[in-house]
């Protein structure tokens, strides 16, 4: 049945976009763009096999096209083959001098190695990309995340801080910085919580930080944060789930203390904080 569905998709049955792109490919045989658009169209529809097949054809027909090589690497990643994607990108980068045009390939290479669990190889790729384009915030964020996964939180913190200096509105870098601060001996829970609260509500911020501390075995601190989260929202499901997890790990009670009585002023300030 799957093969029948793929055959119908490949034939373009009832798909005006596929038929239009096929006509473009026939009319412009020396143009790689419509071939890549067809591969991407299949990707958006979830036909990963067809995307990969057309990306391979594009690389075979246009071996010098950086766009075709990148499309093939993306297709391999989506097909669950990150190592093959990384190897294809390594071969691509070895065949040409590094320049701004290769930044995207290096970033994708780092992501592919990370997905394959090859963190040192991913770090090397991200550092090469950062050296070429230090102004791009997402490169610093990706390098920081890689270092974080290598249990090198102290080294990851400056990368996340640089990402935020380049793009203060990056919620991803802000969250990652909060995690790195919580995992670093030099970081503090209070400082970490400030970054989490910048990008989400108070209950979720406390619960998210508690989850990081649970991973580290810091159960007492995590329970304090979960109690704070449930003070803000007694029905906060992630906080309740984290409380159950903490209970399973430390043997403590999976109960919630009575909510604190906050003053009218404190509650008003909380509302204002949410508004702003």
Quickly list DSSP for 96-107.
S---GGGHHHHH
Q: What pLDDT band is residue 6 in, cutting at 50, 70 and 90?
A: very low
Q: Is the pLDDT of residue 115 over 60?
A: yes
Share of the chain above pLDDT 70, in %: 84
- Domains in the chain, please, with CATH? 1-80 (1.25.40.10), 83-133 (no CATH)
Q: What pLDDT band is residue 100 in, cutting at 50, 70 and 90?
A: low
Residue among 169, 82, 71 at smallest CA distance from 117: 82
Number of Cβ within 10 Å of residue 43's Cβ equals 19
Rounded to whole angstroms, the Cα distance separating 126 from 159 reads 11
- The chain-wide mean pLDDT, for the chain, equals 85
Rounded to whole angstroms, the Cα distance separating 61 from 25 reads 12
- pTM of the predicted model as reported, rounded to 2 decimal places: 0.76
98-107: burial string, b at 16+ Cβ within 10 Å, e else:
eeeebbebbb
Residue among 116, 144, 115 at smallest CA distance from 129: 144
Rounded to whole angstroms, the Cα distance separating 114 from 94 reads 19
Task: Please give the average per-residue pLDDT across 99-126, as a whole number.
Answer: 91
Task: Please give the average per-residue pLDDT across 135-148, as a whole number.
Answer: 97
- pLDDT reported for residue 106: 94
- pLDDT reported for residue 275: 47
Rounded to whole angstroms, the Cα distance separating 190 from 196 reads 10
Tens of pLDDT along 195-210?
A: 888 888 999 999 999 9
Residue among 262, 189, 193 at smallest CA distance from 231: 262
The owner of tokens 């270092």 is 147
Task: Please give the average per-residue pLDDT across 148-170, as a whole number.
Answer: 94
- Sorted by sequence, the CB contacts under 8 Å of residue 45 that are 6+ apart come out as 9
What are the Cα distances from residue 36, in Å, to 57, 59, 167, 205? 10, 10, 31, 41
- pLDDT reported for residue 198: 86
Q: What pLDDT band is residue 13 in, cutting at 50, 70 and 90?
A: low
Under 8 Å between Cβ of 122 and 153: no
- pLDDT reported for residue 276: 43
Rounded to whole angstroms, the Cα distance separating 208 from 222 reads 10
């Amino acid at each position: 049945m799957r093969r029948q569905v793929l055959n119908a998709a490949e034939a373009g049955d009832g798909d005006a976009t596929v038929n239009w792109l096929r006509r473009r490919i026939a009319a412009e045989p020396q143009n790689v763009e419509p071939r890549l658009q067809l591969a991407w169209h299949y990707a958006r529809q979830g036909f990963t096999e067809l995307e990969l097949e057309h990306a391979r054809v594009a690389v075979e027909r246009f071996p010098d096209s950086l766009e075709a090589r990148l499309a093939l690497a993306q297709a391999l990643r989506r097909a669950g083959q990150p190592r093959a994607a990384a190897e294809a990108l390594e071969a691509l980068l070895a065949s040409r001098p590094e320049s701004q045009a290769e930044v995207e390939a290096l970033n994708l290479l780092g992501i592919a190695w990370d997905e394959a669990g090859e963190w040192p190889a991913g770090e090397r790729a991200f550092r090469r990309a950062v050296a070429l384009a230090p102004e791009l915030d997402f490169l610093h964020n990706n390098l920081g995340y890689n270092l974080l996964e290598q249990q090198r939180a102290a080294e990851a913190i400056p990368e996340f801080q640089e990402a935020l200096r380049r793009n203060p509105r990056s919620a991803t870098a802000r969250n990652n910085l909060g995690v790195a601060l919580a995992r670093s001996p030099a970081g503090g829970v209070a400082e970490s919580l400030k970054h989490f609260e910048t990008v989400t509500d108070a209950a979720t911020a406390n619960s998210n930080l508690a989850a990081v501390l649970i991973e580290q075995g810091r159960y007492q601190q995590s329970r304090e944060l979960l109690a704070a989260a449930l003070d803000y929202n007694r029905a906060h499901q992630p906080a309740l789930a984290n409380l159950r997890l903490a209970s399973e790990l430390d043997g403590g009670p999976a109960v919630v203390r009575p909510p604190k009585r906050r003053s009218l002023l404190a509650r008003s300030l909380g509302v204002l904080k949410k508004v702003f």
